[in-house]
Amino acid sequence: MTAYSKASTFTISMPNSALLDIVNLKVYISDKEILRGVNLQIFSGKTHALMGKNGSGKSTLAQILMGNPTYTVQSGNALFEGSEVLALEPEERAKAGMFLSFQYPSEVTGVNVGSFLRLIYNKRHEKPLSPIKFREYLKDKLELLNIKEDFLKRYLNEGFSGGEKKRMEMLQMLILEPKLAILDEVDSGLDVDAVKIVSKAVNYLKEKQGMTVLIITHYTRILKYIVPDYVHIMSDGNIVSTGTKELAHEIEEKGYDHLL
């Protein structure tokens, strides 16, 4: 399979089968069409970057893939490892190996971070861990993200800075070890040190288990640390260009308008 980028005159080769195959997906919110027949293939073990201006439909696509009931699917499908996922409950999608990092994680008062993380670990794995064993399991992950152990005593996202919320989500990702991580503007509001730490967690799982990544972003900054195999440009609810990492460099130099 090949894809052509309007931004330049190159073709790229792609594998024949996809981990996630989105086919002619049309999505509404209220009476407004947001996605207008999206076709996109995400390949196993690869990093895909989805870029575009505000309002182009990028975050809507992420929300639909993980089952946000606010949106209505009019037509189309999404296959994960060959099985339809749009009819599944969000927890079933997560159990299948899909993970979404939110732009704006919710605060949950009264829910201890350590207890929450142990709960999601025990839901994901066949053999549950005791609190003591789980603390031992967490040590290297906390070190990877430069998180102190007293962080585990805090309430989930309550009073967290933007960077702390992102680290919390990366910690969840490290525990769940998903097959596909969808990172929705994970770099939003982060300083360069925090971007590097987030990228370190993503690259760790890519190297450890070949995790597939769909990273949604406006800017190329994080793509210096999480290098994409493929770059897709979305505009007005559709994919308008696909290319390699060089396409992201063109966006940096020329902006989005020359693609549209």
pLDDT digits (tens, 9 = 90+) for 12-57: 666 667 999 999 999 999 889 999 999 999 999 999 999 999 999 9
Look at the block and give the residue holding tokens 């207890």.
Answer: 115
Considering only CA atoms, which of 117, 125, 70, 69 is closest in space to residue 97?
125
pLDDT at 12: 63
- Tokens matching residue 60: 């809507």
Query: Phi first, then psi: what are they for 21, rounded to 5°?
Result: -125, 110
Cα separation of 131 and 129, whole Å?
6
pLDDT at 3: 43
What is this structure's pTM? 0.90
Cα separation of 173 and 167, whole Å?
10
- Tokens matching residue 9: 């005159």
Would you list the domain boundaries of the chain? 2-259
pLDDT digits (tens, 9 = 90+) for 60-104: 999 999 999 999 999 999 999 999 999 999 999 999 999 999 767
pLDDT at 105: 77
Radius of gyration of the chain (CA): 18
- Tokens matching residue 18: 């996809």
CATH class assigned to 2-259: alpha beta
pLDDT at 22: 97
Rounded mean pLDDT, 200-213:
95
pLDDT digits (tens, 9 = 90+) for 114-170: 999 999 999 888 889 999 999 999 999 999 999 999 999 999 989 888 888 888 999
